[in-house]
Copies of this chain bind each other. A is one copy, B any other.
């Protein structure tokens, strides 16, 4: 008696939304830009680029890590952060596919 229409979101849409959400804050975009442009990417360097408290920076880094876009490793006494290449490319493909496949039809409003 499953009356409910099965209307869950697809895995792909969930994943793309997760990547997008992680990128949905200027501080996190700035972090990603910075990380991608740097060889050494310590917490302190990142903090220095941003107009926010270190606790907040730490939180943003955690979100990017949870989304899989970056990774961190301890390099005592510092913490070195980097882009996670595999997921970075995965994200790139997700966005590319999204924008490529989703060409608005010529018959649509505009």
Contact = CB atoms under 8 A, between A and B. Distances in A.
Interface residues of A, number: 55
Contact of A26 (B13, B83, B95, B98): B13
Given A84-B110, A109-B73, A9 B27 contact: yes
Q: How many copies make up the complex?
A: 2
A51 interface: yes
Contact of A95 (B22, B50, B95): B95
Contacts of A80: 109
A36 B102 contact: yes
B36 A9 contact: no
Interface of A: 5, 7-10, 13-14, 16-18, 20-30, 32-33, 35-39, 41, 49-51, 71, 73, 80, 82-85, 88, 91-92, 95-96, 98-99, 101-105, 107-110
9 contacts: A14-B26, A17-B26, A17-B29, A20-B21, A20-B24, A20-B29, A39-B107, A83-B108, A83-B110
